């Protein structure tokens, strides 16, 4: 029992505080149930602080702790039809046969409680331990779907609304890919990414990571509505994002049909769910049913088992990326799982191999819980062959035999041979020509690979001498005159790409698109950048110690400076050219604007351009001098207040278009 308490506490900490779980939810629940059973059989040994008594979660040190006005409870879990029918029987015993259930999706994110006073969002608090949580208001305010100010005035003067913060799969994939490109550790799933984001200290960073929110319950001092369903309908009216896939059911069989439908259909959603929540609809009946120590008796969750299969681990191979990071990949005996054939699974890093204690030929359990890349969750030890060889993470680079290194505080191993390790060289060139960097038409990843193998290119700068090698190019298969011409034209045009793109294209570690832009704006010229000191670099907006050190290390290598000299000689852009704007009109000359909120048909960037192209000026903040505040949805309440106080006129996009007519 003691061992279980200890283990479960560690898993809770990994899940709630670190947002990096190392065990499947199902396994956790099984262990918790085992402990619960033992405690019932031997109450004399039960720990008074047992995890069976806790709602879960923990408090993070760096936020203010706020008590919840109404406790944030958890839900009982069920995994099969019988458990659910038992729940239905229990409900019937207390309230009879006349009732309905509301079936909702169980969003896989983290719960949040939002407090509104006088129609204004005043606080957003995480669940924490259920009675108090972290005040993360500024972070939550960056979420588009969370209204700061309700338009509808006819709402209770004070209420708490609860819901789930999550990240869409597409955003998760994109951001995780960016992290991979920057050599940063990737998140295992969207839930962890969302949880990690909500707990960030810098709200500016949070704003860059698109989070979303579904709301699913209302707490007020007195009951404004008779049923949960009615309250959800009203929440929509008040401007809250309530999920449309919610259903009113009259019997447990209807509930089971809903569960069965979503078991498959869930993979088509743009976000992840891990089950279904069933709630008794009538508030009066909910009250009659009441609560246990940690969950309501009027609601329960049905959790989908992650889809899992057993297959053989054939071998572990290692991929060397552009930054030199060496990533292990499990090659599996092909197997059908959730409608696709799985041949590979991610192993993330060396720690993961150790955690699983992988041996060659192991029979492994592979899970696809809606995540994109399947994952090995466990090894079937009973099937391990005698004398099986343990998988050992290599000490030498699998591509160039250089000794691998691991930087302090990082989980990934790197091959430091960035000048001669083939996949690093090819990867760097592929990054340089990529869409987000130099965007070179007529040149693709495979072509780069071929050119490298034929000895035509070995450095970025070699791309700019390809025109001298057209005889050799013509000898390559599938490379006609037209495609050579196109490619050379694309390469020539890339010389006009702005400095920030060139800088991003160089592939300096930790210098992503945004950082490259900040560096370009902050230094204006490559010579200023290559000679900048650590202090000068960290003084630039958004450049921290880690990025600055990486830049200094990069420009400290003579071969990198030599490349830059060559590229300069070929005519690439290494300084910021201030854009000369040719005005479309001078209709807005002398007028100042601030743009705030979100707009249906325009991005803020487009509106800014529209204003500047017609002679207007964008100001950074609201002051008495300001002529117009272009106001969109979900504008910050403090801005609104200030504008009102200073009598700055608020205009809509339509008003702006009117000014331009």
Closest residue to ligand IVH: CB criterion: 111
For residues 164 and 367, which CB has a smaller minimum distance to ligand IVH in the complex? 164
Residue closest to 490 by CA, chosen among 436, 563, 438, 447: 438
By CB under 6 A, tell whether 296 contacts ligand IVH: yes
**C-beta separation of 643 from 622 below 8 A:** yes
Name the minimum Å distance from CB 174 to ligand IVH.
Answer: 24
Does 242 contact ligand IVH by CB under 6 A?
no
Residue closer to ligand IVH, measured from CB, 107 or 238: 107
Q: How far is the CB of 216 from ligand IVH (least distance, A)?
A: 4
* Nearer residue to ligand IVH within complex by CB, 270 or 620: 270
Q: Which of 402, 192, 169, 173 is nearest to 269 (CA)?
A: 169
CA distances (Å), origin 31, targets 34, 38, 163: 5, 11, 27
> Cβ of residue 275: shortest distance to ligand IVH, in angstroms?
8
Strand 132-134 with 65-67, pairing: antiparallel
**Residue 267 or residue 599: which is nearer to ligand IVH going by CB?**
267
Catalytic choice (31, 93, 106, 617) = 106
Q: Are 103 and 278 in contact, with CB atoms under 8 Å apart?
A: yes
Of residues 638 through 657, those in contact with ligand IVH by CB under 6 A are: none
Q: Which two tokens stand for residue 30?
A: 């099984």
What is the pairing mode between strands 77-78 and 299-303? Answer: parallel
Asked if residue 249 binds ligand IVH (CB under 6 A), the reply is no
Q: Which of 1, 5, 73, 329 contacts ligand IVH by CB under 6 A?
A: 73
Q: Does 111 bind ligand IVH (CB under 6 A)?
A: yes
Q: Near ligand IVH by CB under 6 A, which window of 18-26, 100-108, 222-230, 599-607?
A: 100-108
Angle at 25 between CA 23 and CA 26, to 5 degrees: 105
End-to-end CA distance of the chain: 76
Closest alpha carbon to 142 in 76, 202, 46, 207: 207
Candidate list 46, 66, 75, 102; residue touching ligand IVH; CB under 6 A: 75
In the block, residue with structure tokens 């949960």: 228
Judge contact between 363 and 379, C-beta under 8 A: yes
By CB under 6 A, which span of 69-77, 260-268, 347-355, 610-618 interacts with ligand IVH? 69-77
Residue 586 annotated as binding? Answer: no
- Work out how close the CB of 429 gets to ligand IVH at its nearest, in angstroms, rounded to a whole number: 45
By C-beta, is 292 or 620 nearer to ligand IVH? Answer: 292
Q: Count residues binding ligand IVH (CB under 6 A).
A: 15
* Cβ neighbour number for residue 10 with a 10 Å cutoff: 12
For residues 310 and 156, give the distance between their C-alpha atoms in angstroms, rounded to a whole number. 53
User: Going residue by residue from 297 to 336, which x/- string records binding to ligand IVH, judged by CB under 6 A?
Assistant: --x-x-----------------------------------
Burial readout 398-428 (b: 16 or more C-beta within 10 A, e: otherwise):
ebbebebeeeeeeebbbbebbeebebbbbbb
The answer on whether 303 is annotated among ligand-binding residues is yes
- DSSP 3-state assignment of 147? coil
524 carries a ligand binding annotation: no
217 lines the binding site for ligand IVH (CB under 6 A): yes
Do the annotations mark residue 626 as ligand-binding? no
**Candidate list 16, 26, 99, 107; residue touching ligand IVH; CB under 6 A:** 107
Place of tokens 């008779």: 226
Cβ contact 648:628 at 8 Å: yes
Is residue 272 near ligand IVH by the rule CB under 6 A?
A: no
Of residues 239 and 296, the one with the C-beta less far from ligand IVH: 296
Cα-based distances in Å from 616 to 577, 603, 627: 21, 17, 10
Nearer to ligand IVH, 14 or 295 (CB): 295
Residue 644 neighbours by CB under 8 Å, 6+ apart:
none
**What residues have CB less than 8 Å from 120, skipping those under 6 apart?**
148, 149, 150, 637
Stretch that binds ligand IVH, among 85-93, 99-107, 254-262, 631-639 (CB under 6 A): 99-107
Stretch that binds ligand IVH, among 138-146, 295-303, 305-313, 501-509 (CB under 6 A): 295-303
CB of 164 to ligand IVH, least distance (A): 5
Nearest CA among 107, 90, 26 for reference residue 252: 90
Binding window for ligand IVH (CB under 6 A); candidates: 104-112, 233-241, 338-346, 348-356: 104-112
Per CB under 6 A, the list member of 58, 104, 181, 352 interacting with ligand IVH is 104
Judge contact between 163 and 246, C-beta under 8 A: no
Q: What is the DSSP string of 518-585?
A: HHHHHHSBHHHHHT--HHHHHTSTT--HHHHHHHHHHHTSHHHHHHHHHHHHHT---BPPPPPPPPS-
161 binds ligand IVH (CB under 6 A): no
Q: Is 106 annotated in the active site?
A: yes
Annotated binding site: 25-29, 74-75, 104, 127, 164, 279, 303, 397, 400, 415, 421
Annotated binding site for Zn(2+): 397, 400, 415, 421
Active site residues: 106
Using CB under 6 A as the criterion, which residues of the chain lie in contact with ligand IVH when the complex forms? 73-75, 104, 106-107, 111, 127, 164, 216-217, 277, 296, 299, 301
Annotated binding site for NAD(+): 25-29, 74-75, 104, 127, 164, 279, 303
């Amino acid at each position: 029992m003691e061992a279980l308490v200890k283990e479960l506490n560690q898993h809770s900490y990994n899940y709630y505080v670190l947002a990096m779980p190392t065990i499947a939810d199902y396994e956790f629940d099984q262990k918790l149930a085992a402990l619960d059973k033992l405690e019932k059989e031997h109450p004399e040994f039960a720990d008074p602080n047992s995890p069976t008594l806790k709602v879960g979660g923990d408090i993070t040190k760096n936020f203010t702790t706020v008590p919840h006005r109404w406790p944030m409870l958890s839900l009982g879990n069920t995994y099969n039809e019988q458990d659910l029918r038992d729940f239905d029987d229990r409900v019937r015993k207390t309230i009879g046969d006349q009732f309905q259930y509301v079936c909702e999706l169980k969003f896989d994110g983290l719960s949040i409680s939002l407090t509104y006073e006088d129609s204004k969002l005043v606080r957003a608090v995480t669940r924490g331990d259920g009675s108090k949580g972290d005040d993360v208001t500024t972070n939550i305010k960056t979420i588009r779907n969370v209204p700061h100010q309700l338009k509808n005035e006819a709402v209770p003067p004070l209420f708490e609304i609860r819901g789930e913060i999550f990240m869409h799969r597409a955003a998760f994939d994109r951001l995780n890919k960016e992290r991979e490109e920057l050599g940063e550790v990737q998140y295992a799933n969207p839930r962890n990414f969302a949880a990690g984001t909500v707990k960030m200290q810098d709200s500016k960073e949070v704003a860059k990571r698109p989070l979303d929110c579904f709301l699913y319950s209302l707490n007020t001092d007195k009951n404004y509505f008779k049923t949960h369903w009615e309250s959800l309908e009203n929440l929509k009216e008040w401007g809250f994002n309530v999920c449309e896939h919610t259903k009113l059911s009259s019997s447990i069989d209807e509930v089971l049909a809903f569960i069965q439908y979503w078991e498959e259909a869930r993979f088509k959603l743009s976000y992840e769910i891990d089950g279904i929540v069933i709630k008794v609809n009538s508030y009066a009946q909910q009250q009659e049913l009441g609560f246990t120590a940690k969950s309501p008796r009027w609601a329960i969750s049905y959790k989908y088992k992650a889809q899992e299969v057993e297959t053989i681990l054939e071998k572990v191979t290692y991929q060397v990326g552009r930054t030199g990071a060496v990533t292990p990949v499990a090659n599996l005996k092909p197997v059908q799982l959730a409608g696709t054939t799985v041949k590979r699974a991610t192993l993330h890093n060396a720690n993961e191999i150790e955690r699983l204690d992988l041996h060659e030929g192991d029979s492994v359990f592979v899970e696809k819980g809606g995540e994109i890349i399947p994952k090995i969750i466990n090894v079937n030890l009973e099937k391990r062959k005698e004398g099986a060889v343990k998988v050992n993470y290599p000490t030498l680079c699998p591509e160039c035999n250089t000794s691998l290194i691991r930087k302090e505080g990082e989980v990934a191993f790197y091959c430091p041979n960035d000048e001669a390790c083939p996949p690093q060289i090819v990867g760097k060139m592929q990054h340089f020509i990529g869409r987000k960097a130099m965007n070179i038409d007529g040149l693709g990843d495979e072509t780069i690979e071929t050119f490298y193998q034929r000895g035509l290119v070995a450095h970025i700068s070699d791309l700019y001498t390809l025109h001298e090698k057209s005889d050799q190019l013509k000898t390559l298969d599938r490379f006609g005159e037209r495609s050579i011409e196109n490619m050379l034209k694309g390469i020539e045009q890339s010389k006009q790409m702005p400095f920030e793109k060139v800088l991003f294209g160089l592939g300096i570690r930790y210098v992503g698109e945004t950082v490259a832009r900040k560096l370009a704006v902050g230094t204006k010229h490559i010579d200023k950048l290559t000679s900048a000191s650590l202090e000068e670099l960290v003084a630039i907006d958004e450049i921290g110690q880690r990025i600055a050190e990486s830049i200094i290390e990069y420009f400290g290598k003579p071969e990198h400076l030599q490349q830059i000299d060559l590229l300069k000689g070929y005519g690439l852009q290494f300084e910021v050219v201030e854009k000369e704007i040719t005005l479309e009109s001078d209709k807005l000359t002398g007028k100042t604007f601030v743009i705030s909120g979100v707009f249906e048909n325009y991005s803020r960037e487009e509106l800014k351009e529209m204003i500047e192209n017609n002679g207007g000026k964008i100001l950074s903040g609201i002051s008495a001098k300001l002529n117009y505040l272009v106001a969109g949805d979900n504008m910050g309440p403090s801005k609104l207040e200030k504008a009102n106080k200073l009598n700055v006129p608020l205009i809509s996009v339509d008003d702006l278009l009117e000014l331009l007519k």
